[in-house]
Amino acid sequence: MNRTVSGATILHDLESLARFSVPTSKGGVTRLPWTYEDEQVVLLLTDTLTAVGLQVSRDTANNLWAVWDVDADRSIVIGSHRDSVPNGGRFDGALGVIGAMRVIQQLKADHYRPRHNIELVAWNDEEGARFGTTLFGSRIYSGATPVAQFSDKIDRQGTSLAEAALQAGYSVEKMEATNHLSRMAAYLELHIEQGPILERNHCHIGVVSGINVQFRERFTMRGIRVHAAYSGADRADPIFATAEVWHNLMTTIHQANHGYPYPRIAATVGQVDVHSHLINAVPPDIIWTLDLRSDDASLAQEVLDMVHGDVERIAQRAGFNAEITRVDDHAVLAGTTDSSQPIAFDPVLQSIVSDAARDGGYSFQHMASWAGHDAMALAPRVPTAMIFVPSYKGLSHTPEEWTDPMDLERGVDVLLRSVIKADALP
């Protein structure tokens, strides 16, 4: 059986998908959900997958499905997401979709006879870049989150999720969990690492153990707008107060990671809104977000508690109000109630991926994912595993995102071998 899909072929496929993007000045990919660009990708995939002989459809959340139906009771599902962040890269998500397509094509060309149905999924709106609806398609499909929690979301142009979906021919009121999880024997997702570990270790394949703890919160610090000439010690300056919080946070992060070969915890301030455009006035407020990730839930909670304490202490000292809002966390995204532990993947499927890499002659290592993925919405309900391939310099969510074609080839080969091994399970 010929199990090799060339890296050049995979890269060509990825370039074909990348063409469906809002034009960007930096050559990146901008493909947001419920847009013309997204619909064009769906149509291209539909034509290609139909030509392979698959049954193609979309569910109520606009996830794309393609089924190799062998009249089995259960299915092995492979795929990833098809959307991007604004001015993102060509590999994030798209590799998992293209890899799944090429695996099915190769298995059919080799006259493989599966015991399970083999299904491809291209999830809708994993990034949440337009409406803040991270993992939207997989969370709706799996029942991890009721659609009502998304219905009031609005993008930067003032368009609601309900309006955008309706323009694309979908009704939020009719979106619901498909109740098809019982048919899924396994879910396998191929993805770029989006971090530097595999490249630094000169390792071909990452066998993903699960998703690290993630906390996302929004902080609003409301001071008093005064003239820049106001020099009193009681000046309620939310900017300097926030800078003090950030300084303390980064000191804590550096101390927590000191002496370890790889970081234990990472903090990101991803959004900052200052409601002032005057050079000669103290801004009245600042709103900022904190994304905190760690492989140690207790450490993450300890750092988060420290930030909360700092914000409250500094705000009280400066004489202004502070508000803290939980945006989401790894448990919310996965639809579970336990935020004290990372999201774990299935140990049997992890062993299958390890064996697949070993059979291919590829180096591999077990590792946790620092990024969230659709797999985390499936993992509490369906046996789930992920396969990572190296990211150049760890770069992702940028036009500079890159994975060497040989690594693409290895990743798709491991996915193919993993599907065959998973197909042998009951």
CA 312 to chain centre: 31
Residue 242 falls inside a structural domain: yes
**How large is the average pLDDT for residues 359-380?**
97
Q: Quick one: 138 and 29 in the same domain? A: yes
Domain holding 187, by residue range, is 7-211+342-423
pLDDT at 276: 79
**How large is the average pLDDT for residues 142-153?**
89
In this structure, what is the dihedral angle of CA atoms 105, 396, 211, 124, given to the nearest 10 degrees? -50
Question: Residue 17: how many CB atoms within 10 A of its CB?
Answer: 24
pLDDT band at 232 (very low <50, low <70, confident <90, very high): low
Q: Is a pLDDT exceeding 60 seen at residue 362? A: yes
Residue 363 falls inside a structural domain: yes
Residue 367 falls inside a structural domain: yes
Q: Could you give the number of structural domains in the chain? A: 2
**How large is the average pLDDT for residues 112-127?**
98
Residue 1 falls inside a structural domain: no
Q: Quick one: 274 and 203 in the same domain? A: no
Residues recorded for the chain:
426
Q: Quick one: which of 347, 383, 362 has its CA closest to 74?
A: 383
Burial category of 220 from C-beta neighbours within 10 Å (exposed 0-12, middle 13-18, buried 19 and up) = middle
Q: Quick one: 244 and 162 in the same domain? A: no
Q: Is a pLDDT exceeding 70 seen at residue 167? A: yes
Domain boundary among 284, 311, 334: 334
Q: Is a pLDDT exceeding 60 seen at residue 240? A: yes
Residue 270 falls inside a structural domain: yes
Q: Give the tens place of pLDDT for each residue, 314-341.
A: 999 988 889 999 988 888 889 987 787 8
- Contact between 117 and 76 (Cβ < 8 Å): yes
Domain boundary among 310, 334, 358: 334
pLDDT at 178: 66
Tell me which of 291 and 319 has the higher pLDDT.
291
In this structure, what is the dihedral angle of CA atoms 79, 83, 88, 90, given to the nearest 10 degrees? 40
Which residue's structure tokens are 């770069």?
395
Residue 64 falls inside a structural domain: yes
Q: Is a pLDDT exceeding 70 seen at residue 2? A: no
Q: Write the CATH number for 295.
A: 3.30.70.360
Domain boundary among 306, 334, 362: 334
CA 23 to chain centre: 23
Q: Give the lowest-confidence range in 25-34, 61-70, 222-231.
A: 222-231
Q: Quick one: 202 and 139 in the same domain? A: yes
Cα–Cα distance list, 185 to 193, 304, 307, 425 (Å): 25, 37, 42, 9
Q: Is a pLDDT exceeding 80 seen at residue 1? A: no
Strands 55-58 and 64-68: antiparallel
Instruction: Name the 3-class secondary structure at 62.
Output: coil
Q: Write the CATH number for 189.
A: 3.40.630.10
Q: Quick one: 218 and 317 in the same domain? A: yes
Q: Give the tens place of pLDDT for each residue, 45-103.
A: 999 999 999 999 999 999 999 999 999 999 999 999 999 999 999 999 999 999 999 99
In whole angstroms, give the CA distance from residue 417 to residue 423.
10
Q: Calculate the average pLDDT of the chain.
A: 94
Strands 285-294 and 272-274: antiparallel
Residue 247 falls inside a structural domain: yes
Q: Quick one: 62 and 125 in the same domain? A: yes
Q: Give the tens place of pLDDT for each residue, 95-111.
A: 999 999 999 999 999 99
In whole angstroms, give the CA distance from residue 358 to residue 414.
9
- Contact between 344 and 381 (Cβ < 8 Å): no
Q: What is the CA radius of gyration of the chain?
A: 23
Q: Is a pLDDT exceeding 60 seen at residue 18? A: yes
Q: Quick one: 232 and 113 in the same domain? A: no
Element counts in the chain: helices (H) and strands (E): 12, 14
In whole angstroms, give the CA distance from residue 266 to residue 257.
9
Q: Quick one: 135 and 178 in the same domain? A: yes
pLDDT at 3: 67
Question: C-alpha angle with apex 310: 306 to 314, nearest 5 degrees?
Answer: 175
In whole angstroms, give the CA distance from residue 325 to residue 144.
21
Q: Quick one: 374 and 278 in the same domain? A: no
Q: Tokens at residue 141, please?
A: 């499909």
**How large is the average pLDDT for residues 258-283?**
90
Instruction: Name the 3-class secondary structure at 361.
Output: coil
In whole angstroms, give the CA distance from residue 394 to residue 392.
5
Q: Quick one: 400 and 262 in the same domain? A: no
Residue 300 falls inside a structural domain: yes
In whole angstroms, give the CA distance from residue 141 to residue 103.
23
Q: Quick one: 178 and 240 in the same domain? A: no
pLDDT band at 26 (very low <50, low <70, confident <90, very high): confident
Which residue's structure tokens are 């990372």?
342
Q: Quick one: which of 35, 11, 31, 15 has its CA closest to 23?
A: 31
Q: Give the lowest-confidence range in 185-199, 267-281, 298-312.
A: 267-281
Q: Give the lowest-confidence range in 67-76, 267-276, 353-362, 412-421.
A: 267-276
Give the up-direction half-sphere exposure of residue 299: CA atoms within 13 A in the CB hemisphere.
19
In whole angstroms, give the CA distance from residue 416 to residue 193.
18
pLDDT band at 282 (very low <50, low <70, confident <90, very high): confident
In whole angstroms, give the CA distance from residue 411 to residue 36.
30
Q: Quick one: 102 and 30 in the same domain? A: yes
- Contact between 228 and 280 (Cβ < 8 Å): yes
In whole angstroms, give the CA distance from residue 329 to residue 94.
24
